[in-house]
Amino acid sequence: MTSEKDLGSEEEHTEDGRDESLLWEFLEEGEFDYQRPRRGEIRDGVILRKGADQIIVDIGAKREGIVPERDLEKLGPEAVAELEAGDEVPVYVLKPENNDGDVIVSINLARQRADWTRAEEVMEANEILEEEITGFNKGGLLVQFGNLQGFLPRSHIVNLDGRTKPGPPHERLNQMVGKQLPLRIIEVNQRQRRLIVSERSAWREWRAEQKKHLLADLEVDDIREGTVTSLADFGAFIDLGGADGLIHLSELSWDRGKKPGDVVQIGEDVKVKVISLDRDRQRIGLSLKQLKPDPWQTMEDRYTIGQYIDVEITNLANFGAFARLEEGIEGLIHISELADHNVQHPGDVVEAGQELTIQILSLEPERKRVGLSLRRVPDHLRQQPEAEEAEAREPEEEPQTEEETDVEASEMAQAAPAEKAEPAPTVEATTPEEASPDEAAGLEASVEDAATPDDQPTDAGRKPPGLDTSDGGESDGGVNPPEEARETAPPPASVNGDSSSEAETEATATA
């Protein structure tokens, strides 16, 4: 017979056995299948706490995962701002356990791993993507694909020169930054971190699809934005984002005679108006000038008959000259209104490109005609004379430096002939034997007057000998010659051989 004590022990044993069997059953079912984190593993986590320098994530391990500050910087401030506590995020295990026993994980690498997988799927499906150009280098353009950076080689860019303004290669590539381009992934290599895309591979197919949608949505009188892709003599082609439209020469500007290159440039972004649409032939007619008011309709608000205005001569004909008043408005100066005299040809008075002042004779905006006159303009209102124009066109001389001045002076000194000293006049001596009695007497008197005794003072203050200081009196140290000799004799020669022009002339005559 079993006692109560034995029964109690059996019940206790049975209860313990049941608990143990339940524990093994739970373990066998795998509900407590714990796996230690491994490096490179992608795990789903839940954000527990978000701090300024790290994020704590529950990854189902013994310890929480820590997203370090460096990983948050790679994510960028916008991506970090979108993360909140309680969000589920995939994480990449960087270190299963660091020195402190923490698990270091990365949200950025987990997203990159997902982007590599998605890039392979897109390439295998041959899909066309529309992505924005984020940068460039010397070899091509850069594009962002999720958290990956793709590369578009220059050789895979369609019509780069036709879509950008003239300039060096790096400037043309820089003009593409910010634009949306159709791209196709042509290479994915995660090990080498290579993601290569091509616009050329996707262009033709994408272009046909975009053109189909554009023609279906486009309507006459629509205002669209486009890019100038090419210029021709008859107009300019504009890319509307899938199809090209044509702005005919007559629709570029209100000014007649302007070339397409005078109005728009390749690579320029412009607004245009759709003026014609042929869906069957897939042709689109555009206009640039119709976005501006017709100047002929408002010209009477700006001009009056008899008004003097400045114009530019644009063209010459046998019957007169055409002058431009403003954009889109030209008038005619009839040959009879060019000058008061008879003019054989307008080119005798004016020339193309010349600016001058004229008078308005008539206004006919409904017929788009303006009559002008040059001969009726007063002289004080006419353009400056040709002499003043030529003077105004002469470039101002730059001031010479000190070195240039010295060089120029040296060159002038070498080029100039040396000044020759005039030879002293030669006076032939007349001997007393050759002279007449009167001449001999005068000559002797002159010699006596010119001679200076050795004991006579020669200070600078004394008067020359032979000059009278009083009537009939003696001079200082000399004898006055007789009156007859003074009248006939030549002036005395100086001691050093110099003579005046009169003495030289008389001496030559005597000889």
- Per-residue pLDDT, averaged over 98-120, amounts to 88
According to the model, what pLDDT value does residue 71 have?
Answer: 86
CB 266 within 8 A of CB 166: yes
Predicted confidence at residue 475, as pLDDT, reads 39
Q: Where are the alpha helices (DSSP H) in 58-126?
A: 69-75, 77-81, 107-125
Q: Distance (Å, rounded) from C-alpha 481 to C-alpha 479?
A: 6
Average pLDDT of the chain to the nearest whole number: 75
Helices (H), 221-372: 260-263
- Its pTM stands at 0.49
- How high is the pLDDT of residue 34? 55
Model pLDDT for residues 381-424, shown as the tens digit of each residue: 875 444 444 454 455 555 555 555 565 556 555 555 444 444 44
pLDDT digits (tens, 9 = 90+) for 298-322: 888 889 999 999 999 988 999 999 9
Place of tokens 């008004």: 307
Query: Structure tokens of 305?
Result: 């008959």
Confidence of residue 22 (pLDDT cuts 50, 70, 90): low
Q: Which helix (H) or strand (E) holds 391?
A: helix 386-393
Residue 330 has pLDDT above 60, yes or no: yes
Which residues, other chains included, contact 112 with Cβ-Cβ below 8 Å and sequence gap of 6+?
Answer: 146, 147, 148
Evaluate if residue 97 carries a pLDDT over 90. no
Of 32, 83, 29, give the one whose Cα is nearest residue 54: 83
Bridge partners of residue 226, in order along the sequence? 270
Percent of the chain past pLDDT 70, that is, above it, reads: 68
Sign of CA dihedral 436, 438, 440, 443: negative
The pLDDT value given to residue 274: 92
What percent of the chain has a predicted confidence (pLDDT) above 90? Answer: 25
| Superfamily of the domain at 222-289 | Nucleic acid-binding proteins (2.40.50.140)
Are 351 and 379 in contact, with CB atoms under 8 Å apart? no
Q: CA–CA separation, 316 vs 312, rounded Å? A: 12
328 residue type, one letter: G
Q: Is the pLDDT of residue 206 over 90?
A: no
The yes or no reply on domain 126-204 and CATH 3.20.20.60 is: no
Count of other CB atoms within 10 angstroms of residue 239: 18
Whole-angstrom distance, CA of residue 148 vs CA of residue 188: 11
Output DSSP code: residue 456: S
Is 455 strand, coil or helix?
coil
Domain residue ranges of the chain, discontinuous segments joined by +: 42-112, 126-204, 222-289, 295-384, 427-449+477-511
Write down the architecture of domain 295-384 according to CATH. Beta Barrel (2.40)
3-state DSSP helix/strand/coil % of the chain, to nearest 5 = 30, 25, 40
pLDDT of residue 285: 92
Cβ pair 511, 428 in contact under 8 A: yes
| Cβ pair 56, 64 in contact under 8 A | yes
CATH of domain 42-112: 2.40.50.140
Please choose, from the candidates 334, 389, 388, the residue with its C-alpha nearest in 3D space to the C-alpha of residue 358. Answer: 334
- Model confidence band, residue 461 (pLDDT cutoffs 50, 70, 90): very low
Q: How many CB atoms lie within 10 A of CB 41?
A: 15
Return the pLDDT at 332: 93
| CA distance to 205, 225, 242, 282, 458, per residue, from 237 (Å) | 21, 13, 13, 14, 107
Q: Which two tokens stand for residue 320?
A: 């007169």
Higher-confidence residue: 432 or 193? 193
295-384 matches 126-204 in CATH topology:
yes
Output the pLDDT for position 477. 41
Compute φ and ψ for 370, nearest 5 degrees.
-135, 125
Listed range (163-172, 248-257, 382-391, 472-481) with the worst mean pLDDT: 472-481
Cα separation of 484 and 474, whole Å?
17
Residues 6+ apart with CB under 8 A from 265: 165, 166, 228
